[in-house]
Amino acid sequence: MTSAEPPVSHPSRRAALRGAAWAAPVVGIAISAPALAASEGGPVPNEEADYYWSSESQGTYTRLDAEPGRLSAQYSTQVSFRSNPPGTQPPAGGVLVLRVEFDQPVTIERLTTTQWDLMEPGSLDTPSAVWEFHLSPSGQGGSLDFALVGTRPGPISVETTMGLHFGGPTTWSETRNGTSAVLVE
């Protein structure tokens, strides 16, 4: 007894051409995207960046100072704009982004600088390990300072990264800056 094999179907020429027509723009976009990204600003070493981490008097970019009692600490960092070449203005529509990542969830008790907008998690009283702040317009940069409460006593670490939206050819620091403290009840 022989079994009947189902007929093999081949796509029509019209279907093949229609698929190729839809794929062509995708290939074009994929090829041009790296060229576009290369023509814009981006992360560079802190010493070369238009937006850079400013050292505090203690020589650090970010400070995390534990306060006695209540598992609390004070966080601060400073971003500045370097006019290079001289006379260069900050990007008019730029949005400076700081992403602050702790190794444990924290609650922000008090945001002592009001120029930054909280984007993530959306509320200061929501415990989170990741916080994102935007400064718009980015202007000359600025300091970000807040009081926080951790979730457990002991060491706490933080790492802050910088980014820039709508900055055109303006560059920002690729340096990931971090520090730590010890929270005490």
DSSP 44-112: E-TTT-SEEEPP-TTS-SEEEEEETTTTEEEEEEEEEE--SSTTPPPPTT-EEEEEEEEEEEEEEEEE-
Mean residue pLDDT across the chain: 82
Which pLDDT belongs to residue 31?
A: 37
For residues 22 and 178, which has the higher predicted lDDT (pLDDT)? 178
Q: What is the mean pLDDT of residues 1-20?
A: 50
pLDDT band at 105 (very low <50, low <70, confident <90, very high): very high
pLDDT band at 10 (very low <50, low <70, confident <90, very high): low
For 115-157, the pLDDT digits (tens) are 999 999 989 889 999 999 999 999 999 999 999 999 999 999 9
Rounded Cα distance between 168 and 92, Å, is: 10
CATH fold of 43-183 reads: Immunoglobulin-like (2.60.40)
